[in-house]
Structure 1
Amino acid sequence: MNLARHSISATAPIHIFDARFDSDCDIFTTATPAGFAVYRTWPLTLLRKRELTGGTLSAVVPLHTSSLLFLLGGGRSPLYPPNKVVLWDDAIRCEVAELEFRERVRGLACRRGWLSVALRRRVVVFEVGERLTRYGEWDTCDNPKGLVALATAAYSTLLAIPGRQMGHVQLVHLPPCAPPKPKGPPSDIPQKPPPPPAKHPVSIIAAHTSALTTLTLPPSGRLLATTSSRGTLVRIWDSHTGKLVRELRRGTDKADIFGVAFRPDEEELCVWSDKGTVHVFTLVLSSVSSNRQSSFSPLTSYLPLPKYFESEWSYAQYRIPTQSSHISLSSASVRSPTADVPDEERCVIGWIEGRSDDPDHPNAEYQLVALTYTGGWYRLSLPSLGHSELNTHTSYNASHHISGSPPKPSSMTRQRTPSVSSVGRSEKGKEKEKDKEGKEKRDCILREFRRYGRWDGWG
């Protein structure tokens, strides 16, 4: 007798409609079918939760770490019409203002005193004070994803939106962002705004030939990261001169890139997509870490090789595990056919200053926190790699196999040995072990896993 295999689970799966960090990744907000909550990013702590009846939210956008939140209705039973943005003051637990448009709101971005609302073909900017005051409006190309980005550091001015032509980015300079009010001793925040640039900054960047999928600014607004619908490249631009700074390759197969995040010091960035893989790139030349390159890269100056061989690949990766194995089949069998189903591949990632788990070097270090839409919280540390383990353009191996997957570092390439010798066979085995060990060293290290988003306890 054949019996079906069932996974036994005492709780129903978690469903997150939206999860996003504040600009400094100090907190993050989540929207679930029961309401919304605010968490401290690390250590993971529930700060407050709000039960909402009558509908669901598609986005909860925090205004830094203040009590103000911007809410968007969404899902199969929206709490608010999709053409409204509601300003919620959590200190008094009620709505204090709302903005209504003639069409659906596609995206939001905010900073101290300012709010940007992305519609299908325009972006509207509001000043947030005692009242919401309309500041300006800019036309864009078709923007179904609601792409908009704001620089959030003190005295930053940059607003990045899609241009009027597909693949272009329009750069707008708003009044300088006010610094936060100091809560204790003087901090590193500059007391005076920086001097104005000597040359007028560019206003348009022709970033891609296909449609944009992400726009990302670091808090300073000095750089700009863009990706397109092809999902293979991440381009880094100087936002003042408009020049291409770096071109990083996520992969060769098409993917839907969900997001890009700069490290706070702008020396690294991470990229994540629907492939469920996080890629980490360095943006500076360092003896500690270096992006991988093809073994053929030194020949690109002499031979007309495809641009693929000049590409820089991530130096560290991590694959987010799926939660399907933890979901009860019995609960799935009784699920309503009209119910919302969480996207297991979707996640959002931010940088934090975590603590090293190495007892010999217990110093603070930059780490990653990944939030999945099925309620997974992952704290990841980067691999400690030397330059010799990562740099791949120091030698050329004629037997290197050309394929669509990222090339392996040349320092780990198998050396030619006599195939008839037992010594040669043992050497090949050692090389395989080294190659496997090197691949593991390039993976980010999972330091901590927690659950968040469950209404009966929230984590």
Structure 2
Amino acid sequence: MATLSASPCPNPNPNFRSPTDQTDHDPESLPHMELHPSSDQDPTPNSNPNFHAVLPTPPEAIAPAAAAAPSLLHISFNQDHGCFAAGIDHGFRIYNCDPFREIFRRDFDRGGGIGVVEMLFRCNILALVGGGPDPQYPPNKVMIWDDHQSRCIGELSFRSEVRSVRLRRDRIVVVLEQKIFVYNFADLKLLHQIETIANPKGLCAVSQGVGSLVLVCPGLQKGQVRVEHYASKRTKFIMAHDSRIVCFALSQDGQLLATASSKGTLVRIFNTVDGSLLQEVRRGADRAEIYSLAFSSNAQWLAVSSDKGTVHVFSLKINGGSPGIDRSQSASDPVTSPHSSLSFIKGVLPKYFSSEWSVAQFRLVEGSQYVVAFGHQKNTVVILGIDGSFYRCQFDPVNGGEMTQLEYHNFLKPEAAF
């Protein structure tokens, strides 16, 4: 069985599966990759001596972990939120969420900055993009890294910097400033190109449930999102907000979409098939920057993080598990929650008072950036901070209120965590 390991000849590791192993989330197998093709549609620029060339074998030496805490360039969960990856200024690291532990690290001896690390569930294949002041790879390239072989087995090159990457077992999605490319994972063949409005954050979401790919990205207008249903070959445009879209998330099956705008006060949930608005929830009254949105696995809950330093959990009053989504509750018909006791007089007071508020909250340091996901244990939330903080919290689905902190670690300082 393949493993993610820092050694050239890794030993079997039960924490990771080979790319051809099946998972409960997606039984499709990942084809083996050998070639190093680049995009013919968007060829690479000339070589830049400031960047390190891709090596067919691992770097000559692997630097020991730096004594000082590394600079964090990127954090992201894997597809089932059981692991997360951290790109740092001299390599990358992979962690398990529950129980929390560092699974492995790879430190590069020269350059080494990794600005994007995208996992593929728990297998040994990752997508890497260089980043930081001294990138390990050019920021305009996506490197497909096989840690079983300790080398890059494929690459995709572009004319401009890569903003983000999304992986499925059958697809690689690369997001540039104003364009998105969809590739077949087996042979890196380009399947689709999408034009978007300026997208510096690399916003893009893909479904991970068994079945057809659903892809969501910004449209060509401010406040618009584009939904691609590849099975039915249908494209749906949704005018989600009046202002610029800054964050969105898909449910695992791709049926539900949560969106937030630059105002950061409201989050809207849409049916991706027909574009209908199913529910609207309020994060707060003041402007805020929404950093992260996440559905629970059963689409019963939605978590939201922002620069206000509070993670909110909202109850979703919709059935996202069946094709016929229940639209009995919508933004125009708010559901009373513990924080919206004035909703019965919504016709008299401003909309603010009739808004649907969060069921549970967790307070963090204001101004810092956090990403959220739901844990594998019931009613738990995992929070990752750009400062290296890891929180696991539990919320009361009945009484709501402040969440209970179950665990805290600083994953940039392993000596403090173990």
Report if TM-score (shorter chain) is over 0.5: yes
Q: Give 2:260's aligned amino acid.
A: T
Q: 1:171 aligns with which of 215, 227, 231?
A: 227
Correspondence 1:453 to 2:412: yes
Provide the C-alpha distance between the structure 2 equivalents of 1:307 and 1:378, rounded to a whole number of angstroms. Answer: 34
- Of structures 1 and 2, the one scoring higher in RCO (CA 8 A, sep 6+) is 1
Correspondence 1:307 to 2:340: no
SS of residue in 1 equivalent to 2:189: strand
Match of 2:156 in 1: 99
Match of 1:120 in 2: 177
Query: For 1:112-151, what aligned pairs fall within 5 Å after superposition?
Result: 112-129=169-186, 131-151=187-207
Provide the C-alpha distance between the structure 2 equivalents of 1:12 and 1:51, rounded to a whole number of angstroms. Answer: 13
Deviation at 1:12, TM superposition (A): 4.8
Provide the C-alpha distance between the structure 2 equivalents of 1:456 and 1:50, rounded to a whole number of angstroms. Answer: 17
Provide the C-alpha distance between the structure 2 equivalents of 1:124 and 1:212, rounded to a whole number of angstroms. Answer: 20
Deviation at 1:157, TM superposition (A): 2.1
Match of 1:34 in 2: 90
Provide the C-alpha distance between the structure 2 equivalents of 1:111 and 1:457, rounded to a whole number of angstroms. Answer: 34
Provide the C-alpha distance between the structure 2 equivalents of 1:65 and 1:174, rounded to a whole number of angstroms. Answer: 25
Deviation at 1:54, TM superposition (A): 2.1
SS of residue in 2 equivalent to 1:125: strand
Provide the C-alpha distance between the structure 2 equivalents of 1:31 and 1:120, rounded to a whole number of angstroms. Answer: 20
Provide the C-alpha distance between the structure 2 equivalents of 1:201 and 1:133, rounded to a whole number of angstroms. Answer: 21
Deviation at 1:14, TM superposition (A): 5.5
Provide the C-alpha distance between the structure 1 equivalents of 2:189 and 2:362, rounded to a whole number of angstroms. Answer: 43
Q: Give 2:410's aligned amino acid.
A: R
TM-score (norm 2): 0.75
Correspondence 1:161 to 2:174: no
SS of residue in 2 equivalent to 1:308: helix
Are the counterparts in 2 of residues 46 and 458 from structure 1 also a CA contact under 8 Å? no
Query: For 1:342-421, what aligned pairs fall within 5 Å after superposition?
Result: 345-354=368-377, 365-383=378-396, 385-386=398-399
Are the counterparts in 2 of residues 14 and 375 from structure 1 also a CA contact under 8 Å? no
TM-score (norm 1): 0.69
Q: Give 1:347's aligned amino acid.
A: Y
Are the counterparts in 2 of residues 282 and 290 from structure 1 also a CA contact under 8 Å? no
Match of 2:362 in 1: 318
User: CA RMSD for the aligned pairs?
Assistant: 2.3
Aligned pair in 2 of structure 1 residues 278, 350: CA closer, same or farther (>3 Å)? same
Q: Deviations over 1:65-103 (max 9, x none)?
A: 111101111111111111111110111111111111011
Q: Give 2:380's aligned amino acid.
A: Q
Q: Give 2:343's aligned amino acid.
A: S
Per mean C-alpha deviation after superposition, the further-off stretch among 46-55 and 92-101 is 46-55
Provide the C-alpha distance between the structure 1 equivalents of 2:239 and 2:397, rounded to a whole number of angstroms. Answer: 36
Provide the C-alpha distance between the structure 1 equivalents of 2:184 and 2:226, rounded to a whole number of angstroms. Answer: 20
SS of residue in 2 equivalent to 1:166: coil
Provide the C-alpha distance between the structure 2 equivalents of 1:99 and 1:379, rounded to a whole number of angstroms. Answer: 36
Provide the C-alpha distance between the structure 1 equivalents of 2:89 and 2:184, rounded to a whole number of angstroms. Answer: 31
Provide the C-alpha distance between the structure 2 equivalents of 1:293 and 1:350, rounded to a whole number of angstroms. Answer: 23
Q: Give 1:47's aligned amino acid.
A: I
Q: Give 1:377's aligned amino acid.
A: F
Whose Rg is larger? 1
Are the counterparts in 1 of residues 224 and 239 from structure 2 also a CA contact under 8 Å? yes
Correspondence 1:75 to 2:132: yes
Q: Deviations over 1:145-203 (max 9, x none)?
A: 1111100111032100111111111111235xxxxxxxxxxxxxxxxxxxx7xxx9661
Instruction: List gaps (5 residues or longer) in structure 2.
Output: 1-66, 320-334
Correspondence 1:204 to 2:231: no
Match of 1:291 in 2: 337
Match of 1:242 in 2: 275
Q: Which runs of 4+ in 1 moved over 4 A?
A: 11-14, 455-459
Deviation at 1:290, TM superposition (A): 6.4
Deviation at 1:215, TM superposition (A): 1.9
Instruction: List gaps (5 residues or longer) in structure 1.
Output: 1-10, 176-195, 323-343, 355-364, 387-440
Query: For 1:80-91, what aligned pairs fall within 5 Å after superposition?
Result: 80-91=137-148
Are the counterparts in 1 of residues 393 and 404 from structure 2 also a CA contact under 8 Å? yes
Q: Deviations over 1:379-410 (max 9, x none)?
A: 10002534xxxxxxxxxxxxxxxxxxxxxxxx
Are the counterparts in 2 of residues 15 and 373 from structure 1 also a CA contact under 8 Å? no
Aligned pair in 2 of structure 1 residues 61, 160: CA closer, same or farther (>3 Å)? same
Provide the C-alpha distance between the structure 1 equivalents of 2:339 and 2:355, rounded to a whole number of angstroms. Answer: 6
Are the counterparts in 1 of residues 339 and 359 from structure 2 also a CA contact under 8 Å? no
Q: Give 2:243's aligned amino acid.
A: S
Provide the C-alpha distance between the structure 1 equivalents of 2:352 and 2:301, rounded to a whole number of angstroms. Answer: 22
Q: Count matched residues.
A: 336
Greater helix content: 1
Q: Give 2:355's aligned amino acid.
A: S
Match of 1:274 in 2: 307
Provide the C-alpha distance between the structure 2 equivalents of 1:247 and 1:266, rounded to a whole number of angstroms. Answer: 15
Aligned pair in 2 of structure 1 residues 290, 156: CA closer, same or farther (>3 Å)? farther
Provide the C-alpha distance between the structure 2 equivalents of 1:458 and 1:293, rounded to a whole number of angstroms. Answer: 36
Match of 1:182 in 2: none
